[in-house]
């Protein structure tokens, strides 16, 4: 589809679209960074406050379910809810994630695993974001395969947990550390590619809508893109946490 809605886009239209794409990409990245800072702030606050940490530990599963509910609601209401409501849900999810991740990070070890995982996640995220932004190809076709890969990882994890719970021979023979390491490497591969795909999709979506939609639609694309990039970074971090945590 021609994003400029003309057979031969004028130089002014091209420049305008490029400017809008640049602004919206920066907006998505900025919102993602703000979300990550919110997560880090809540995580540090939880670790420094014994009552918060105790609450998070005792209600860990409930908090996870609330987080999943917020993301699901965000996805369902992306093009119907008020933009401020979407931003509020993004901040709520970022804050809740900080509380739960603080418990996970403490379990793996802050200096031993969490800090290296953060540095590694940043490196992978930046590298594959550049790939997504600079490639001339449309990477959206990879999204279904990556979604299937994530679903497969979830199913494998459930099978592993069930196999250990019911003491199924060949499954229970696999050590948790070996399984965790395998899932960690798989996660790094999948979510690194997801980062490139999501960055590419944000760029292409804004390009397509730049001259045909109002600011409200672009605001929605911007915050939805921020959530996608945020989830990519967090999943990269968790995958690397598995890897570094196995070396303790």
Note the pLDDT tens digit of each residue in 167-211: 776 777 778 888 999 999 999 999 999 999 999 999 999 999 988
- 130: Cβ contacts below 8 Å, ≥ 6 apart: none
pLDDT at residue 120 greater than cutoff 50:
yes
Distance CA 107, CA 196 (A): 30
pLDDT band at 5 (very low <50, low <70, confident <90, very high): very low
Distance CA 90, CA 80 (A): 15
Cβ contact 234:32 at 8 Å:
no
Cβ contact 104:46 at 8 Å:
no
Largest CA distance in the chain: 67
Note the pLDDT tens digit of each residue in 33-85: 999 999 999 999 999 999 999 999 999 999 999 999 999 999 999 988 899 99
For 6, 12, 177, the CA distances from 199, given in Å and listed in that order, are 26, 25, 32
For 152, 165, 170, the CA distances from 175, given in Å and listed in that order, are 20, 13, 11
In percent, how much of the chain has pLDDT > 70? 94
**Mean pLDDT on 89-104:** 97
Residue 7's pLDDT is: 57
pLDDT at residue 23 greater than cutoff 70:
yes
pLDDT band at 6 (very low <50, low <70, confident <90, very high): very low
| Token pair for 27 | 């907006």
Q: How many residues does the structure list for the chain?
A: 248
Average pLDDT, the chain: 91
Note the pLDDT tens digit of each residue in 29-47: 999 999 999 999 999 999 9
| Token pair for 240 | 């690397």
Distance CA 143, CA 197 (A): 7
Burial pattern 22-49, b for ≥16 Cβ within 10 A else e, equals eebbebbbebbebbbebbeebbeebbee
């Amino acid at each position: 589809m021609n994003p400029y809605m003309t057979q031969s886009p004028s130089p002014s239209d091209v420049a305008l679209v490029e400017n809008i794409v640049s602004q919206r990409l920066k907006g998505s990245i900025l919102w993602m960074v703000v979300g990550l800072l919110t997560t880090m702030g809540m995580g540090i606050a939880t670790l420094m406050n014994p009552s918060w940490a105790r609450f998070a530990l005792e209600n860990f599963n409930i908090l996870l379910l609330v987080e999943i509910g917020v993301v699901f609601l965000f996805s369902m209401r992306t093009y119907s809810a008020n933009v401020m409501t979407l931003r509020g849900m993004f901040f709520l999810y970022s804050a809740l994630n900080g509380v739960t991740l603080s418990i996970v990070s403490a379990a793996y070890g802050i200096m031993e695993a969490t800090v290296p995982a953060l540095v590694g996640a940043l490196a992978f995220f930046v590298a594959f974001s550049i790939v997504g932004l600079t490639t001339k190809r449309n990477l959206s076709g990879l999204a279904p395969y990556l979604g299937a890969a994530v679903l497969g990882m979830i199913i494998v994890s459930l099978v592993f947990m069930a196999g250990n719970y019911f003491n199924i021979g060949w499954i229970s023979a696999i050590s948790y550390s070996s399984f965790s390491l395998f899932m960690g490497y798989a996660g790094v591969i999948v979510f690194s590619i997801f980062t490139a795909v999501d960055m590419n999709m944000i760029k292409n979506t804004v390009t397509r809508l730049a001259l045909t939609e109002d600011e409200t639609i672009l605001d929605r694309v911007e915050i939805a893109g921020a959530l996608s990039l945020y989830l990519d970074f967090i999943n990269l971090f968790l995958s690397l946490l598995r890897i570094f945590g196995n070396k303790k």
